[in-house]
Amino acid sequence: MPPLFALVDCNNFYVSCERVFQPKLYGIPVIVLSNNDGCVVARSNEAKALGIGMGVPEFQIRPLLRTHQVQVFSSNYTLYGDLSQRVMETLEQFCPDLERYSIDEAFLSLSGFTARNHTDYGRTIRRTVQRWTGIPVSIGIAETKTLAKLANRIAKRNSDTRGVFDLTVCPDRDRLLSRIPVEEVWGIGPNHARTLRDHGITTTLHLRHADHRWIRKHLGIVGLRLVEELGGRSCLPLEDCPLPKQSITCSRSFGTPITTLVEMEEAVSAYVSRAAEKLRREGLAAMCLTIFLTTNSFKVGPQYSNALTGKFPVATDSTPELIRLTLQGIRQLYREGYEYKKAGVLLTGLVSASQVQTDLFDQHDRVRSKQLMVAFDQINDRWGAGTLRYAATGLHRVWTTQFHRRSPAYTTNWDELPLVHATS
């Protein structure tokens, strides 16, 4: 049975999440900012029409925001993550073979739906997701993942498609591909696009007909697979079982610069605690820990950045053990006289927590530690993140990331549930 993929992509996802609980935002320009309300990370179509670019710093466009009364929000990752889960669960009602590609994208396998009209089925999926979650989506259908990505772009940009475009029934595919710039192909970044354009490959159609030996030489095996996929040969199967993580990172820019060792110890302890929670959720343990810190290179003043890697004698997912090594490392890295902008931790050497090889001279009570971490996580899962936390992570946290314009956690916090007012 030949493969057939549908890429379901949420439209302007972060903005759409904000609009679900604030219908007054429909039809007006809306943007969402990154951590510390720094840069634009999501825009409504109305905001795009004003020329607001992705990644532009908020302070650079403040006059434009005021002039056009653009609604500005801080990122609300709790809300976005919950609505993403609801979208994915809705999609699973229509197709059990699903790959969650990102927070707002998923590939579906439609190869077994030969008796259906795929466009009509896609529109049924689209209507249901909108009705059940409030999130608008666009759907691209094709025989490879790469072509499904392109079909999804067409579905988004062309209103005639009504949000769904099936490339397999397109009567003139070559003409369509000749109109798509090569840099819009999934996996073609700026450097590869520059190389291709320098050699006269400017459109998706040109890339599809490019010499395979030349592509292999300049773009490698990954580029060759993309070319094969553009030709209709599926080289990227559906990954219904995601590959195990190779690393886990937790890093943040500080809401206010850190100038003392005590504050830095609190920050990195909080970050490694969060990374430990991710480890346990994935059923993993870490062999290595890297700590890094840096000042703000865009600000006038003395600059300093550094990193340090340590190794555990036995792979661990224990928060106390991770905090202990983190504090040892940060005390070696820290230098007085600097204003630090960012720090973080990176866990590598990840192995299954159920297959940890212990050491003959290991004096750590791992059974008791495991029981403690299970209880710790269960309490926080039931009563909310941060209900229990280690004193090393700080109490006041003046350095924490700032979200001055964040909307309520409508779906995950009893105290922030939306209120509905009815009049007779």
Closest by alpha carbon to 135, among 12, 16, 21, 27? 16
Which domain CATH number covers 213? Answer: 1.10.150.20
Q: Note the pLDDT tens digit of each residue in 113-151.
A: 777 899 999 999 999 999 999 999 999 999 999 999 999
Q: What phi, psi does 194 have (nearest 5°)?
A: -65, -45
Instruction: Write down the pLDDT at residue 287.
Output: 93
d(CA 272, CA 305) in angstroms, rounded, equals: 19
- Please indicate, yes or no, if residue 136 is contained in any of the structural domains: yes
**Across residues 187-191, what is the average pLDDT?**
91
For 283, phi then psi, to 5°, come to: 70, 35
pLDDT number for residue 238:
85
Helix (H, G, I), strand (E, B) or coil at 77: helix
340 occurs within a structural domain: yes
C-alpha 143/C-alpha 30 separation (Å) is: 35
How far apart CA 131 and CA 240 sit, in angstroms, is 26
DSSP state of 349: S
Same domain for 42 and 92, yes or no, is: yes
pLDDT grade, residue 243 (50/70/90)? low
Quickly count: other Cβ atoms within 10 Å of residue 371's Cβ. Answer: 11
Three-state SS for 40?
strand
User: Of 152, 168, 184, which residue sits at a domain end?
Assistant: 168
pLDDT tens, 89-101?
A: 999 999 888 999 9
CA pair distance 50, 61, nearest whole angstrom = 11
Sheet strands (E) in 131-231: 137-142, 164-166
Residue pointed to by tokens 């429909």: 26
What's the pLDDT at 242?
Answer: 63
Q: Output phi, psi for 256, to 5 deg.
A: -130, 145
pTM metric for this prediction:
0.82
Instruction: Tell me the residue range of the domain where 54 lies.
Output: 5-168
Domain count, the chain: 3
Q: What residues have CB less than 8 Å from 189, skipping those under 6 apart?
A: none
The residue type of 27 is: G
Per-residue pLDDT band for 241 (boundaries 50, 70, 90) equals low
Is the Cβ–Cβ distance between 138 and 16 less than 8 Å?
no
Query: Cα–chain-centroid distance for residue 394?
Result: 27
> pLDDT confidence of 354, banded at 50, 70, 90?
confident
Say whether both 22 and 164 belong to one domain.
yes
What CATH number has the domain bearing residue 333? 3.30.1490.100
